Structure 1
Amino acid sequence: MADHHQEDDDLKLALQMSMQYNLPELKRSNPIGSGSQPGESPEAKTRRLQREIMAAAAEKRMVLIPKSPSPPVQDKAPTLGSVLGEEESDQLFGMLFGGDVTKSILAQWTNQGIRFSPDPETSIGLVQHEGGPCGVLAALQAFVLKYLIYFPEDLGKASPSMGVWTLSKHRYVVSDSFSSVTEEAKTRALVRSMCEILFMCGNNNRAVVATFANFEEPSTSQRDEAMAGGLPLESASDLQKILRFETFTTQSSALQKLERTIPAFQSPMGVLMFLISALLSRGLDSVQSDRDDPNPPLVTKPFGHASQEIVNLLLCGEAVANVFDGRMDLGGGMFLKGISKNVEVGFLTFIESLQFCKVGQHLKCPKWPIWVIGSESHYTVLFALDPSVQEENELELRESQIRRAFDARDQSGGGGFITADAFHQVVQETNIRLPVEKLNDICATGFIVWSELWQVILELDRNLGGIKDSTGMMGKKVFDIYHFNGIAKSDINGGAQAIAVEGHVVSAPVQRPRLTKLNVAVPPKWTQEEYLSCALPMASSSEKDSEVNQAKPVQHAPLVDCIRTRWARATCSWSGDPPSIV
């Protein structure tokens, strides 16, 4: 009964509302009373009619409720790339610069484009105008040289003869006419280098290309401002406003994108945009996982230099902080991460010549003879036009074999010594058969230093696993190598230019990037005494013979110390200004 009373009340309310307003009759799909069924009882029919009247009243109530006007449909502007979220922007900016970055550091990184030198002699090199981003430029420069020298056929018909090898007396002969490289070939080499690095950072599965918002639109004030170098970047929110990125899974699509946006990378924000592209390709969380200590910013303080993690990311695709091979176990579940794989282009550092670190074989012996050179404050590039400089002779192969076994057990952080127990493993692995008295002598202190072990190997007969060479001719190597420093330096021997100073015209050295050709000689003698004896000029019976036998004058610069970390005992000579690694 209660249900019937409730239905009666609802029916009365519906009838009152239906008579309260004078509304046009609604067109129902089924008119009231049309749903009668054969054999329907009077009570059921009454209930059905009541339900239909209530439904009609409900429809009238819906008409009475005012509807908010629908917003006009607007055409969506084409979205050119994705936008970083607020949290991701904060993470990226903090990872790069930290929480209290100075305006001078930001200025260094927002005023450096990726541009080739306008100077004909150094036209294949990328120019650095600001201190700080040299690590990014040097790594990119190394890959550009790889394509210009060793893959000119990939750069189209416009590529020069430089890098096209011809075989002559079992040696590669290569043209070093760098000024003949066309702008088209250089741009293609740059685009391919950028694409290779980004895919390497993305584990060869993806590449993320970052650029300015709306950069590819015909004309925008933001794009024009960015190209002119006036785009502000002082915080993560600024980064979020100006940055757009796209993800590519095929190299062809990434190459097309990079070709279209090369002007953006040539702009003052270019180096920073490329570094951000590499970080996003790797993934921000993966970058932090690569690092031994994820807290310091990647751009180091107080001078804004690129950290070793940035350089390693661009050389091997992982943002590790160390340059040794593999991992170094510190015990207790702690370890330091180094280079885990072979690389296309390598790395040498002046710091190793001071015995503060040890560069592993992955970076020291890359696939192509091109190296980023690190000093205390700058990065430059060393390269050879002849790939045979990487080939090892019998002595070098044996030295590399023993050194790898030694380094694998060196837990001193590059100090160059192992325990006596580890030494016995090295001897067994490399098939060295030392006399008992020599073995006891070298293990007397409980630690074996590499330099002492190497001296023993040099004096050990070859049939016992040593490399004693009675002829003194094995291991001889002479080759040319080039060094490029992209930051403008005074060229003392390159002439002078007239400049006005306080109303007076004065002469000043020309400022330009520096490209130096070095002749490198690795002596055939392997002991210090033999080397000193053969390094002295040989006496001759006539002045003519003396001129023929006179060796090139040996010169020294910090770069030579870097070269000797790759080719021990090397001597170098060059013409003109000495090469500079700062």
Structure 2
Amino acid sequence: MADHEEDDLRMALRMSLQHSPPEAKRSKPRENAGVPTVSASPEESPEVKRRELMAAAAEKRMLMSKSVAASKPEKSADVAVAENSVLIVKDENRVLGGTVSEKPEAVCKEEEMKDVNFGEELPAADANQLFSMIFGNGVSRDILAQWSNQGIRFSSDPETAMGLVQHEGGPCGVLATLQAFVLKYLLFFPDELGKFTPNMPSQNLGSRRLSESECVTSGDFASLTEDGKASALVRSMVEILFLCGSKKRAVIATFSVLCQGAEEQSEDGQKDEIFAKTLEGLPIESASDLQKVLRVNTCTSQMSAFQQLKEMLPVFQSRLGAMLFLISALLSRGLEFVQADRDDPSPPLVTAPFGHASQEIVNLLLCGKAVPNVFDGRMDLGGGMFLKGIPTSVEVGFLTLLEYHNLCKVGQHLKCPKWPIWVVGSESHYTVLFAFDTSVQDENELEQWESQIRKSFDGQDQSGGGGFISVEGLHQVLRETGINLPPEKLDHLCSTGFIVWSEFWQILLELDKSLGGMKDSTGLMGKKQFDLFHFNGIAKSVLNGSQAISGVESPLQRPRLSILRVSVPPRWTPEEFMADIVVPPGPGGNDPSGKDTVVEVTKPEPSQHAPLVDCIRTRWPRSICNWVGDPPSIV
């Protein structure tokens, strides 16, 4: 014991003389280790003064420990715990004052560890404002229980291994938004999960399509590794927090109650159990409870934030993880800025009576601002009053059933995000919709052609927006677009001396695409078909397929992943073109009469319906959706 204390003092004194802190090592320094050269003017160096203070602090702790040892029996290092609030150094290579030791851990009282950066204590006023902003006054125990018992954990079910599981109602807005970012990394940046490159998501990568060499086969997530999923989760947390911090900072909230057994040499599973046990009885029922245990660190580097969040991941996986991440996002934005983002800052962000995350929370995590609306930009009400919406384009988007019911209008920023991933909102729950291919957001070929023709037509419109052009203008449009109108159609259009867009467009709909028109005799070119995946993280009862085959029903509680086949016709397609299709004769299938054959096998299946389909149609109007099994659920 005395030898160890002398080692502590010796290393602390050496630290006070060094130019820079010694590199951490795996073993105790030799007794005859040399002393570095001292600078010419150590009194003028703030770093030297800091080390002198650290040495003095180490000497003070040793004197205190000697006085305690004189009055009490000596305790082993494995069981020595301070009587009051304690903080335990987790890095097995360092203890206070820079001492390198092979001893299991160093324990001391919180007030004696001010020189170690465990995070700042939140001022009481800020804690009161934070708690009131989230929960309001008079929050029920049920709502607090929902938000105090939801960790950020992946599903153990192989079919939904990429998904975050929700056990309680309420925090789904936080989990679904985080899930959307996690999917972005798992689907579109699988090769980068093993390394961290700051600002990598902001690179202009253009349209990306997944191949089997890049990622898991569509819909098969069982091959994802735990390390890969953890990396995607931490990257997502870093990106969201820096987004909230205007890409300048991330505030990471954690708890001062760290456990003895969480040292670096512990297995990850042991860390999880230790954190869970430590936080099991931790009450967060008031602002004072929050202020006692909450500690915050501000990171201005994405790399440092990544390392810290990676180290603290077991805390976010604990029962308080969802609440802790929400607090981190709010503090990263800044409490005053959050209130300024809102149209009405008085209601709590967690809405009563069911404890759901408000739209402000979801928007904060999606775009970095706690605005309450989903339209683009802001709406001027006059008199200097504005309603605030989504200010810029986003990485992942948002769709809502409320738009189908004409209760809101989702703008293009959220409806057309950079990546084909959307948080889906219903009246009471948030889920996630996604695709493996970014081309699902591309215009279909005929719609692109229509846009090109309309642009050329508008370029010849000299009526000030009246929607008609001259005969000379029509001939210019035909030259620019290469449209070949039959003489009788051209004469009919030019008979009045001016051409209206609606008449021109009607002729184009009846003109075969080989002549530059829109009539698609095959029925395939004008229709987009793709798969969408829907993930509902809340654990629901599903049938165990293997046992169902044998006649024994065994419901399981697990998240749900659904696959939808989506067909989207061009926006102008008449209903008759959605039915019977004229197929020209081909090799081996020629009709003896030489006529085209009318077949009905290509007629699309009747659209299946669920509330999710209504959400999808706000993004892809008139889309037809089909799936196998139970309807996908957004509640």
What TM-score, normalized by structure 1, do the two folds share?
0.70
Instruction: State the match for 1:94 in structure 2.
Output: 132
Counterpart for residue 188 of structure 1: 231
The 2-side partners of 1:278 and 1:429 are apart by 52
What is the correspondence of 1:78-477 to structure 2 with a 5 Å cutoff? 78-156=116-194, 165-166=210-211, 175-215=218-258, 218=261, 224=275, 227=278, 229-393=280-444, 396=447, 433-434=467-468, 459=506, 469-471=518-520, 475-477=526-528
CA contact (8 A) 2:257 2:278 kept: no
Report if aligned partners of 1:496, 1:509 keep a CA contact under 8 Å in 2: no
CA distance in 1, matches of 2:353, 2:365: 22
Secondary structure of residue in 1 paired with 2:149? coil
- Looking at structure 1, the residues matched to 519 and 212 of structure 2 have their Cα atoms a distance apart, in angstroms, of 32
Do the aligned partners of residues 73 and 279 (structure 1) sit closer, same or farther apart at CA in structure 2, a change above 3 Å counting?
same
Contact 1:369 1:383 (C-alpha < 8 Å) held by counterparts: yes
> CA separation in 1, counterparts of 2:578 and 2:224?
39
Unaligned runs of 5+ in 1: 1-71, 158-162, 404-423, 437-453, 498-505
Match for residue 572 of structure 2?
A: 526
Q: Is the 8 A contact 1:494 1:509 kept in 2?
A: no
Cα gap change, 1:514 to 1:312, in 2 (>3 Å): same
In structure 2, what is the equivalent of residue 40 of structure 1? none
What is the SS of the residue equivalent to 1:231? coil
Instruction: Tell which deviates more after alignment, 78-87 or 316-325.
Output: 78-87
The Cα of 1:490 is off from its aligned counterpart by 2.3
Task: Give the drift of 1:393.
Answer: 3.7
Equivalent residues of 1:346, 1:362 under 8 A apart: yes
1:560 aligned partner: 613
Asked if the contact 2:447–2:570 (Cα under 8 Å) also holds between the matched residues in 1, the reply is no
Query: 2 CA distance for matches of 1:329 and 1:349?
Result: 23
- Higher mean C-alpha displacement, 483-492 vs 144-153: 483-492
Residue pair 2:444, 2:570 contacting (<8 A) in 1 also:
no
TM-aligned CA deviation for residue 491 of structure 1: 1.9
Residues 1:511 and 2:557 are matched in the alignment: yes
1:176-203 CA-partner distances (Å, limit 9, x unpaired): 3211111110000000000000000000
- Return the offset for 1:215: 2.8
- Work out whether residues 276 and 319 of structure 2, in 8 Å CA contact, stay in contact via their aligned partners in 1: no
Letter of the 1:433 counterpart:
G
Conservation of the 8 A alpha-carbon contact between 2:173 and 2:356: yes
CA offsets per residue over residues 444-476 of structure 1, 9 Å max, x none?
xxxxxxxxxx999965869xxxx9834476642
Find the aligned partners of 1:209 and 1:580 in 2 and give their Cα distance.
34
Distance 1:243 1:402 in 2: 60
Q: Distance in 2 between matches of 1:318 and 1:578?
A: 34
2:259 touches 2:275 (CA, 8 Å); kept in 1?
Answer: no
Deviation at 1:231, TM superposition (A): 1.3
Alpha-carbon spacing, 1:216–1:475, altered in 2? closer, same or farther (3 Å): farther
Letter in 1 for 2:415: K
Counterpart of 2:532, as a letter, is: I
Structure 1 equivalent of residue 44 of structure 2: none
Deviation of 1:145 after TM superposition, in Å, equals 0.2
Alpha-carbon distance in structure 1 between the residues aligned to 2:453 and 2:327: 41
Q: Deviations over 1:228-275 (max 9, x none)?
A: 532101100000012111000001100000010000000000000000
Unmatched tracts of structure 2, length 5 or more: 1-58, 63-111, 196-207, 264-270, 471-500, 510-515, 584-588, 592-596
Structure 1 579/456 Cα, relative in aligned 2: closer, same or farther at 3 Å?
farther
Confirm or deny: 8 A CA contact 2:540 2:558 kept in the other structure. yes
For residues 300-345 of structure 1, what are the alpha-carbon distances to aligned partners after superposition, in whole Å with 9 as ceiling and x for unaligned? 0110000000000000000000000001000111110000000000
**Per-residue deviation, 1:165:** 2.9
Preserved contact between residue 213 and residue 223 of structure 1 (Cα < 8 Å): no
Q: Which amino acid aligns with 1:231?
A: L
Offset, 1:534: 3.0
| 1:492 CA drift (Å) | 4.3
Q: Structure 1 residues 398 and 390, CA, compared in 2 at 3 Å: closer, same or farther?
A: same
Q: How far apart, in 2, do the equivalents of 1:335 and 1:383 lie?
A: 33
Query: How many Å separate the matches in 1 of 2:378 and 2:567?
Result: 34
In 2, Cα distance between equivalents of 1:479 and 1:268:
38
Q: Report the residue type matching 1:515 in the other structure.
A: L
Question: What is the aligned partner in structure 1 of residue 539 from structure 2?
Answer: 488
Q: Is the 8 A contact 2:209 2:438 kept in 1?
A: no
| Equivalent in the alignment of 2:633 | 580
* Conserved 8 A contact 1:126-1:486: yes
How much has 1:80 moved relative to structure 2? 0.9
Q: Which residue of 2 aligns with 1:64?
A: none
* Aligned residue in 2 for 1:28: none
**What is the percentage of aligned positions where both structures have the same residue?**
60
Structure 2 distance, partners of 1:341, 1:129, is: 33
CA RMSD in angstroms, aligned pairs only: 3.8
Q: What CA deviation, in whole Å up to 9, does each residue of 1:149-184 have, x standing for no partner?
A: 000011129xxxxx983499xxx9954321111111
Distance apart, 1:536 and its partner CA: 3.2
CA contact (8 A) 1:122 1:513 kept: yes
Change in 2 beyond 3 A, CA 1:183/1:376? same
CA-CA distance at 1:507 after TM superposition: 5.0
> Structure 2 vs 1, CA of residues 393 and 147 (structure 1 numbering), >3 Å: closer, same or farther?
same
